[in-house]
Chain A
Amino acid sequence: MATTPDRPGCHALDASLIERLHAVQQRHGYLPRAELQQLAVAMQRPLSDVMGVASFYHLFRLVPPPLHRCVVCRGTACFVRGAERLEAGLRRRGVAFETASCVGACGQAPVLVLDGTVGCGDPGALPEP
């Protein structure tokens, strides 16, 4: 990416705490406490600031993620087409899942994201436990 020399330092990518947190989460799958402390030192900001940002955003994880990740979309189209039944079905089967506000694949509603792959989560297609 081209950088203009006169650009103030605060506009650079690595000056953004959120971008740095994304990088840490990319490496570890979550935000380990030690990394957050290091980040606070490196960016010369109090740890409370770093924690404040890390805990504000839904996508930052402060604990290690499970081996497989299942995300149920809670968008309106998914809601209208049975996302609540899908969630109930997963719960009945003891499947741990997260929720997302909308993944934007409303054409396939209700939608499920399994390890990053978006698919149609037809609640009727779930086998009973």
Chain B
Amino acid sequence: MKAAISWRCCDATSCRAAGAAALRQRLVAQHGVERVKSVGCLRLCGQGPLAAADHEDGRVELFGGVAAERQLDPEHPFFTLQRSVVLERCGLVDPGCLDDALAQGAYTALAACRQLAPKAVVEELERSGLRGRGGAGYPTGRKWQLVAAQPGSSKVVVCNADEGDPGAFMDRAVLEGDPHRLLEGMAIAAHAVGASEGFIYVRAEYPLAIERLRRAIAAAETRGVLAGFAIQLRIGAGAYVCGEETALLHSIEGGRGTPRPRPPYPAVSGLWGLPTLINNVETFAAVPAILRQGGAWYGAMGTATSKGTKVFALSGAITHTGLIEVEMGTSLRTIVETMGGGVPANPNGSLGVVKAVQTGGPSGGCVPAALLDTPVDYESLQALGSIMGSGGMVVIDESLAMPELARYFMGFCAAESCGKCLPCRAGTVQLEQLLDRFVERRATGADLVQLEQLCGMVKATSLCGLGQSAPNPVLSTLRFFRAEYEAAIAGAAP
């Protein structure tokens, strides 16, 4: 075997947890520091710490383990079925080095955009069909157009990097692996809507992402690549509700992160009452590629209503845990079985069986194994009572009872409810207590009726997305796994 010319060592949170520092040290000792580079996520997090060896003939080898003892197959469908757009540089570029990012094409789309009229930039984005990747799926081009149309010269661009859904780490990968991409996307947005100021709101649970962003912003400003667009970081303090846009704005202003009714939408009246464009990390990160390759190129990928690619964080009871970016419309079966390798075998040797796939975190639902051929796009998932969400995809196997999963999410929502509106504050607690009865198999038939009624009430009357979507995990498991709830009614046959 010819020696590799260079090594790329994953230095993201997940691989760090698995011992990336030890692996890097070993590689540096063997090959010299100049041939080992730190990069962002190499995708197959479950096999971490990961390192990739680049050979002279273009061959790439992938290794896992602190002694690089496991050789992994880069030709596995987990890698070959991926289509990297948002993550095109993640894993290749040194996130701490602006020169490396520039050498790999960072900020070229921004420079090209500056030659265009803002209107042309917005049109290109509308042509791409990109929709908000934070979960709601609002057309990004239309949002930009709304903010651009607001009068006044003081406008703000805000990036929602408060990736709070448990089981979601797509944005973390972008922030840790290719922070300049986000800054470029935000600067393009600022040019398009006429903003001179930007804020990135990052959750405090991502210290490495914060550190990388700080360095990236400082380097970009020193070098002048942002051409006057000033970006500030704001750090969250552990409140899930701050992922909701109006709560996030309150938090950036320094107050309690409670939502407010919309309208007015932030596009009209946002931070300090200024017209504000809010998009999440993945949305901004898709922008440079769209502007570079054209909206038509991006729009050619995906389905009729969901264009382009989407990043998913694949985890739970699955053989290959990690980060994938696939074309919209890829089936859940392809993702879970072909790419993810399905549920690992049980300790007793029997085959693991997929029971359901949970998408959209605490706001989403469960797609049962029988419907795995569902294509992943906004509408198909919604039709099944789940949502695309931000991209967390947790595989559930037979060992987990659905009322237990529903209680887990309801407990999360009850703990994270900001307390401003009654249906969410009290309703989630009541729902959790009802679910306790089902988990402990002491429920009654009346409890089941009440569970469904209360779900409907909380969904219909809560102020913001947190409360409105909190019943989703219950409703979707009731829809597909009702027998498990009925079996939990006291006296029912086990």
Q: Which residues of A contact B (CB under 8 A)?
A: 1-4, 7-8, 10-11, 13, 15-19, 21-22, 49, 52-53, 56-60, 74-81, 100-109, 111, 116, 118-120
Complex CA–CA separation, A3 to B217 (angstroms) = 13
Is B124 located at the chain interface by the 8 A CB criterion? no
Main secondary structure of the interface of B (DSSP, over half): mixed
Is B251 located at the chain interface by the 8 A CB criterion? yes
Is B206 located at the chain interface by the 8 A CB criterion? yes
Is B358 located at the chain interface by the 8 A CB criterion? yes
Residues of B within 8 A of A7 (CB): 197, 230
Residues of B within 8 A of A103 (CB): 13, 205
Inter-subunit contact A81/B317 (CB<8 Å): yes
Inter-subunit contact B205/A16 (CB<8 Å): no
Complex CA–CA separation, A58 to B239 (angstroms) = 6
Inter-subunit contact A2/B221 (CB<8 Å): yes
Residues of A within 8 A of B196 (CB): 4
Inter-subunit contact B237/A57 (CB<8 Å): yes
Inter-subunit contact B237/A22 (CB<8 Å): yes
Q: Select from chain B the residue with minimum beta-carbon distance to A25.
A: B237
Is B138 located at the chain interface by the 8 A CB criterion? no
Q: Which of B172-221 contact A (CB under 8 A)?
A: 172, 196-197, 204-207, 217-218, 221
Residue of A49, A53, A100, A109 touching B205 (CB-CB under 8 A): A100
Q: A13-B232, A19-B235, A56-B239 are in contact. List 17 more A-B contacts (CB 8 A).
A: A4-B197, A4-B228, A16-B254, A21-B237, A22-B235, A57-B237, A57-B238, A76-B167, A77-B167, A78-B166, A80-B394, A80-B396, A80-B397, A100-B238, A102-B166, A109-B316, A120-B17
Q: How many inter-chain contacts with C-beta < 8 Å in the A-B complex?
A: 162
Residues of B within 8 A of A1 (CB): 217-218, 221, 230, 232
Residues of A within 8 A of B221 (CB): 1-2
5 residue pairs A–B, Cβ–Cβ below 8 Å: A11-B232, A18-B254, A102-B205, A104-B168, A116-B207
Inter-subunit contact B316/A108 (CB<8 Å): no
Residues of B within 8 A of A100 (CB): 205, 238
Inter-subunit contact A18/B166 (CB<8 Å): no
Q: Select from chain B the residue with minimum beta-carbon distance to A106.
A: B315
Complex CA–CA separation, A80 to B239 (angstroms) = 22
Q: Select from chain B the residue with minimum beta-carbon distance to A74.
A: B166
Q: Which residues of B contact A (CB under 8 A)?
A: 13-18, 44-46, 48, 163-169, 172, 196-197, 204-207, 217-218, 221, 228, 230, 232, 234-240, 251-257, 272, 313, 315-317, 321-322, 358, 361, 392, 394-397, 400, 408-409, 412, 416, 418
Complex CA–CA separation, A56 to B272 (angstroms) = 21
Residues of A within 8 A of B164 (CB): 101-102
Q: A81-B317, A106-B321, A108-B17 are in contact. Are A101 and B234 (CB under 8 A)?
A: no
Complex CA–CA separation, A42 to B316 (angstroms) = 48
Shortest C-beta distance, B440 to chain A (Å), equals 14
Residues of B within 8 A of A22 (CB): 204, 235, 237
Residues of B within 8 A of A8 (CB): 272
Inter-subunit contact B257/A57 (CB<8 Å): yes
Most chain-B CB neighbours within 10 Å: which of A1, A56, A107?
Answer: A107
Residue of B17, B168, B400, B418 touching A80 (CB-CB under 8 A): B400
Complex CA–CA separation, A60 to B416 (angstroms) = 15
Residues of B within 8 A of A4 (CB): 196-197, 228, 230
Inter-subunit contact B18/A120 (CB<8 Å): yes
Inter-subunit contact B240/A108 (CB<8 Å): no
Residue of B13, B317, B361 touching A104 (CB-CB under 8 A): B13
Q: Select from chain A the residue with minimum beta-carbon distance to B408.
A: A79
Complex CA–CA separation, A7 to B237 (angstroms) = 25
Most chain-A CB neighbours within 10 Å: which of B167, B172, B197, B228?
Answer: B167
Q: A19-B254, A56-B256, A79-B408 are in contact. Are A106 and B313 (CB under 8 A)?
A: yes
Residues of B within 8 A of A49 (CB): 255
Inter-subunit contact A58/B237 (CB<8 Å): yes
Inter-subunit contact B321/A52 (CB<8 Å): no
Complex CA–CA separation, A52 to B165 (angstroms) = 25
Residues of B within 8 A of A16 (CB): 234, 252-254
Complex CA–CA separation, A1 to B216 (angstroms) = 11
Shortest C-beta distance, A105 to chain B (Å), equals 4
Q: Select from chain B the residue with minimum beta-carbon distance to A80.
A: B316
Complex CA–CA separation, A52 to B419 (angstroms) = 13
Residue of B169, B240, B408 touching A106 (CB-CB under 8 A): B169
Q: Select from chain A the residue with minimum beta-carbon distance to B256.
A: A56
Complex CA–CA separation, A58 to B204 (angstroms) = 11
Inter-subunit contact B48/A107 (CB<8 Å): yes
Complex CA–CA separation, A53 to B166 (angstroms) = 24
Residue of B18, B234, B394 touching A107 (CB-CB under 8 A): B18
Shortest C-beta distance, B316 to chain A (Å), equals 4
Residue of A15, A104, A108, A119 touching B206 (CB-CB under 8 A): A104
Q: A3-B230, A57-B257 are in contact. Are A104 and B237 (CB under 8 A)?
A: no
